[in-house]
Amino acid sequence: MISADFIRGYVDLLVLESLLDQPSYGYAISKRIEELSRGQYEMKETTLYSAVRRLEKTGAVTSFQGTHSQGRARTYYRLTEFGRRFYDEKCEEWRQTVALVGRFVRDPH
């Protein structure tokens, strides 16, 4: 498992990636993240919904009511054009972070 502390600064990137192709709802976003991480990272529900609320406030995602599931309408989230640009920025930031940290990682002896 990857430490949640290590991922903390990139939670938004993980959520945004999950919305690139189509709108989705909380549980499906969580499962997508778990699947892409191949079980190495599991996002807690509170972390996911905090990220979604933060992304909504910045205008990166919007929410809407979807179809009913077991009597309740699901809240879906959709990436905005700003959200797509923000995702691209976060990806570039990640690449720069990997390059920087890589300078400090030595091969084992």
Domains of the chain listed by start with CATH number = 4-102 (1.10.10.10)
Q: How many CB atoms lie within 10 A of CB 70?
A: 5
Q: pTM for the full model?
A: 0.88
User: What string of H, E and C letters represents the secondary structure of 44-78?
Assistant: CHHHHHHHHHHHHHHCCEEEEEEEEECCEEEEEEE
Give the model confidence (pLDDT) of 35-92 as tens digits: 999 988 889 999 999 999 999 999 999 999 987 667 778 999 999 999 999 999 999 9
**Nearest Cα to Cα of residue 80 among 56, 52, 61:** 61
> Is it the case that residue 104 has pLDDT exceeding 80?
yes
